[in-house]
Structure 1
Amino acid sequence: MPFPEKPNRYDLLALAFLLILLALFLEASREAVAPFAPAELSLDPRHLPEYALRTAFRMGVAFLLSLAFTLVYAPLAAKTRLEPFLVSLLDILQSVPVLGFLAATAGAFAALFPGRALGFELSAIFAVFTSQAWNMAFSFYQSLKTLPKDLLEVAALYRLTPWQRFLRLELPFALPGLVWNGMMSMSGGWFFVVASEAIAVGRTQVELPGIGSYLATAIAKQDGQAILLAAGSMLLVILLYDQFLFRPLVAWSQRFKYEERPGPPPPRSWVLDLLSRSQVVRKALGTLFSLALEALLARERRLAPRPRAFPLWPLALPLLLLGGMGAWALWRQVAPLGLAEVAKVFLLGFFTLLRVLGVLALAALVWVPVGILLGSRPSLAQRVQAFLQVLAAFPANLLYPPLAYAIVHHHLSLEVFSAFLMVLGTQWYILFNAVAGSLALPEDLKEAARSFRLRGLPLWRRLLLPGTFPYLVTGLITASGGTWNAAIVAEVVQWGDTTWQATGLGSYIASWTLKEGQGPHLLLGIAAMSLYVVVLNRLLWRRLYRLAEERFRL
């Protein structure tokens, strides 16, 4: 590999930057694999840098796992005959509460690595992963289903292999939307970081050192200064992620925007500029990419000619047996409750469904225009990018007590105003996807709209809403899953010793979570919620996806 004879100043700065990141990663990973020594969490501010590093490490590893899951799962769902099964499975996974994943997996991870912190670290990382992965997978799936037809024809004309098509066409086309949904996923992970760092294994409560557990301890001890310090540390980590990861990715991904004429200059990032001006880094990355691509193409040539499509009928019997065993196990748990209880749960689910649809309509009415207008001004979108991440990452459960007090103090009906609490778990999915869709609109279409003097309602009806429609569908699907999860918290309001409950499935799940012998009732509630989400996705969102694929692809 031909390196320059004398490194330039950018090479030295890039090397120092990469070495610092490597040192921080090694320090955080060393703590993660160390022997587990339970200790009471300290609120001493001197420990906050270490706690911030541990939390940033968990969030980063979960994000990388979510990205790897997305790059494998979404193409399988979009391009194979397993699409109906894989998409339905993704619908179910996004409907299961994140805390349900944590409760189900904490003991298993702890048993894999007895006496070491790694098991608990993996539990926390997996909980954050489940709050990030589904959103990113839906975004990539949407991009694969709405690839422009002329690009597909060019790929077929040049006889691109599957790997060439993936790396040269599909992934670059999906990058702008995937990056913005990655930001949303990272911000959504902060919502659950408080719960993910406090793990219950049997009767043992484990608090992992981190910003989330520090914040939870500060709230329990009513230490206002510690709460402010935790919020400030969280803000600092979010800003660092924005500067070192997402701002460079946004600037880089805009180079792959689909358009036939040059648009405005892409946004700038000092990190991207530093790495691109470093001759060593640029040539090393280019060489690694070339070697990886050559290895993949060589593997394809060894496997050619390709075998015929694998028939799906051999999988039918195992899937039927697995589904039958799952249904039998569920019925065995739920049957003792009686049909009356089952009917009651599904009726409660209907009330929650009405709130979910109302919240989605309200959030879309407000945030779709805001996101599209923001995305139509890329320089403004870049300036407020970090601010949006901070707002989306702010743990909305901290806002529930003052909102609950306002509802109780003004004698407002929780049946109606619980929807406003649910909005906190909904709005950002819609906003981020609206921004991504608006940024992805080709500049030549905007120029054509200006040439025809389209303004006001005709501009929205002819260009802005149709052009961003696939992204809006993705935002509504992921927001729907977030709203169902938020219902578990929003339909129960506690102030002091008094508790108010709205009529709905969320309050049913929340109330049975705290009771003895809750297993069958909790399982019934989660199963009913999953069924509602799957049916809603199949009857509404999946049809909108097909509409986006057939009528609103570029």
Structure 2
Amino acid sequence: MTGYHRFVPRRPGLVDLAVAAVVFALVYALVRVGAGLRAPLAAAAPDAIRLEPAFLPYYAGRSILRMVAAFALSVAFSLGYGYLAARSARAERFLIPLLDILQSVPVLGFLSVSINALMGLFPGQIVGLELASIFAIFTSQVWNLTFAFYYSLSSLPRELRLVSEVYRLSPWQRFTRLELPGSMIPLVWNGMMSFGGGWFFLAASEAITVLNRRLMLPGVGSYLATALERADARAVGYAILTMALVVLGIDQLVWRPLVAWAERFKLEQTPSAVAPSSAVLMLLRRSALVDAFERGVLAPLGTFVSAAMDRLWRGGATLAGRLAGRRSPLWAWAGRAVMVAAGLGLLRYAWLAALLVSHMGARQIGWVAWLGILTLLRVMAAVGLGAAWTVPVGVLIGLHPRLAAMGQGLVQLAAAFPANMLFPFIAFVYARWHVNFEVGSVLLMMLGTQWYILFNVIAGASQLPAELKEAALVFGVGGWTRWRRVILPAVMPSLVTGCLTAAGGAWNASIVAEVTAWGSTRLVATGLGAYITEVTRVGDRGGIVWGITAMAILVVLLNRLLWRPLYLRAESRCSLA
């Protein structure tokens, strides 16, 4: 832009009136919705949820506020955790296996552990319950985002790292000018998926039945749960319509502009023939208010933060160098002390968990292990069925840019919509047609996890080199030979990554996919997810601990014995593609 380096003020226009109106509306909504945080705990009683449609805008605002707060925490955690794991080989050996374990813990497990502690900080107030709900949503969003940032940092081109060393960029400059921009596209797309994962567990995070106590926060999730309990089909329809409008609005106002904006960070020599676009982003770029805010506030603030972080980082590096150069390796001893403290904390947790589980008996412990095997079979079936249709569709979208421009928006909307809102209708159909829910629950798992595979396959197919496609065309390679020799090797690393994250999502989704209801009709599949849901409802601490532990063991073993070896094999054999 010609006037960027020399300040040329833009003339205010209709666009600025629209921007000002939107900002005022957001501030007003934030004040109105935030006022509910000062309510007493009695406001979370189950009978406080009203099913009149007039209450839905307020409930939607409360749910959006929780989702945004949880997502902000997820981004901050992912940047710090992923950066530390990618930059330190010693930390990586501990942090990545820990991330596998944390990913395997279901949302209800985190909720049952945190709710009493957080509510104890604010006795008699709804704030503690709000914090517990935000934390539960955070645990449904953060792990996928952290893995995405870690893998993005690990796969940055070595040449760019060498350039940063030649120009002697400070760690903060390298992070803000190379590592974060280079990871921006995966962060945006996986952020979209993580945000959708939060919608999936919204009902479980707002309508809380834990330790034999029923609590409901005002929100779309609790509205839906109440409508289902009362078998109010009209209220369920209102909830689904509200959620569809919310998802569509956030997609148009947030995710589409972010996807279009993130294209500037794409590492390619030739620009894409069909780039993502956003009308909202175009309007923001034409706004004089946004331009003045960027110049007068964001630019000086960014300069100040960069200078402060540079000084802080250099001071820390100097201190670390001095400590490392002394005879007494204080820095190394501090690291060992942290590791010992973490180990003692894990031993204490293991001891308390063993005491709780010891009251269960060997037969019940073995039964829970068998339930884990049954859920494992459903997880693998859901991943296999999801891959069966997402691979051809994802390849079709990824290899045709114009089709991608039209199809990705529909895929984004479908992926963001919480599939568990459709579970009661599926349960009604299952009950009417006498479908075996032991098998039918696989479909419910697949509805919430198949999008991880689809997005990864689209990304892998879109990165297929043009030279390879042209060579296949010149040599007349088509049909199954083209799939076997060209397409599948190219998308295999992305496919395995999608299957890994989809399997993790399916394990977590089992707590809502193996138990669903419509009014008095309740369908329960025999599995670990249904078991965890039941013991959490009645407050069986030993059952909660052993159910979560069994799920964590199975997930870690599956990742280490199947998905990680498959990924390494696919990456080594298909690196040329």
- Scaled by the length of structure 1, what TM-score is found? 0.88
Any idea what the Cα deviations from partners look like across 1:386-437, whole Å, max 9, x if unmatched? 5334433444334444444555555555444432332123212212333344
Farther-moved stretch of structure 1 (166-175 vs 27-36):
27-36
Match of 2:368 in 1: 345
Match of 1:292 in 2: 305
Cα separation, 2, equivalents of 1:473 and 1:290: 41
Aligned residue type for 1:318:
A
Aligned residue type for 2:31:
L
Match of 1:540 in 2: 562
Cα separation, 2, equivalents of 1:161 and 1:544: 37
Aligned residue type for 2:64:
A
Asked if the contact 2:397–2:407 (Cα under 8 Å) also holds between the matched residues in 1, the reply is: no
Any idea what the Cα deviations from partners look like across 1:447-468, whole Å, max 9, x if unmatched? 5522552655555456544544
Cα separation, 2, equivalents of 1:465 and 1:140: 25
Farther-moved stretch of structure 1 (206-215 vs 382-391):
382-391
> 1:481 aligned to 469, 484, 504, which one?
504
- 1:6-155 superposed matches below 5 A: 7-9=11-13, 10-35=15-40, 38=43, 40-80=48-88, 81-155=90-164
Cα separation, 2, equivalents of 1:290 and 1:265: 34
Any idea what the Cα deviations from partners look like across 1:190-241, whole Å, max 9, x if unmatched? 1221222223476653322222222222222222222222211111111111
Cα separation, 2, equivalents of 1:522 and 1:314: 31
> 1:446 aligned to 463, 466, 471, which one?
466
Cα separation, 1, equivalents of 2:336 and 2:480: 51
Structure 2: segments with no counterpart, 5+ residues: 325-330
Match of 1:157 in 2: 166
Farther-moved stretch of structure 1 (210-219 vs 276-285):
276-285
Q: CA-atom RMSD, angstroms? A: 3.1
Cα separation, 2, equivalents of 1:289 and 1:76: 23
Aligned residues: 550
1:228–1:507 CA distance, 2 compared to 1 (3 A): closer
Asked if the contact 1:512–1:521 (Cα under 8 Å) also holds between the matched residues in 2, the reply is: yes
1:493–1:215 CA distance, 2 compared to 1 (3 A): closer
Asked if the contact 1:180–1:433 (Cα under 8 Å) also holds between the matched residues in 2, the reply is: no
Asked if the contact 2:515–2:523 (Cα under 8 Å) also holds between the matched residues in 1, the reply is: yes
1:360–1:378 CA distance, 2 compared to 1 (3 A): same
Any idea what the Cα deviations from partners look like across 1:476-519, whole Å, max 9, x if unmatched? 2221122112333444566887866555333433444455x732
Measure how far apart 1:248 and its partner are.
0.6
Farther-moved stretch of structure 1 (170-179 vs 481-490):
481-490
- 1:216-365 superposed matches below 5 A: 216-278=225-287, 279-284=291-296, 285-305=298-318, 307-308=320-321, 311=332, 312-365=335-388
Farther-moved stretch of structure 1 (238-247 vs 99-108):
99-108
- 1:179-194 superposed matches below 5 A: 179-194=188-203
Q: Does residue 541 of structure 2 align to residue 519 of structure 1? A: yes
Question: What secondary structure sits across from 2:320 in the alignment?
Answer: coil
Aligned residue type for 2:157:
P
Match of 1:419 in 2: 442
Structure 1: segments with no counterpart, 5+ residues: none
Measure how far apart 1:249 and its partner are.
0.6
Cα separation, 1, equivalents of 2:117 and 2:175: 36
Question: What secondary structure sits across from 1:234 in the alignment?
Answer: helix
- Scaled by the length of structure 2, what TM-score is found? 0.85
Cα separation, 1, equivalents of 2:116 and 2:411: 36
Question: What secondary structure sits across from 2:455 in the alignment?
Answer: helix
Asked if the contact 2:112–2:536 (Cα under 8 Å) also holds between the matched residues in 1, the reply is: no
Any idea what the Cα deviations from partners look like across 1:266-297, whole Å, max 9, x if unmatched? 21112211222333244243443333223322
Cα separation, 2, equivalents of 1:492 and 1:50: 29
1:269–1:216 CA distance, 2 compared to 1 (3 A): same
Aligned residue type for 2:129:
F
Measure how far apart 1:251 and its partner are.
0.4
Asked if the contact 1:112–1:119 (Cα under 8 Å) also holds between the matched residues in 2, the reply is: yes
Aligned residue type for 1:233:
T
1:82–1:370 CA distance, 2 compared to 1 (3 A): same
Cα separation, 2, equivalents of 1:467 and 1:164: 33
Measure how far apart 1:349 and its partner are.
1.9
Farther-moved stretch of structure 1 (247-256 vs 154-163):
154-163
Any idea what the Cα deviations from partners look like across 1:145-200, whole Å, max 9, x if unmatched? 22223323333333332222222222222221221111111112112212222234
Cα separation, 2, equivalents of 1:255 and 1:540: 36
Question: What secondary structure sits across from 1:305 in the alignment?
Answer: helix
Cα separation, 2, equivalents of 1:450 and 1:297: 47
Question: What secondary structure sits across from 2:387 in the alignment?
Answer: helix
Asked if the contact 1:55–1:210 (Cα under 8 Å) also holds between the matched residues in 2, the reply is: yes
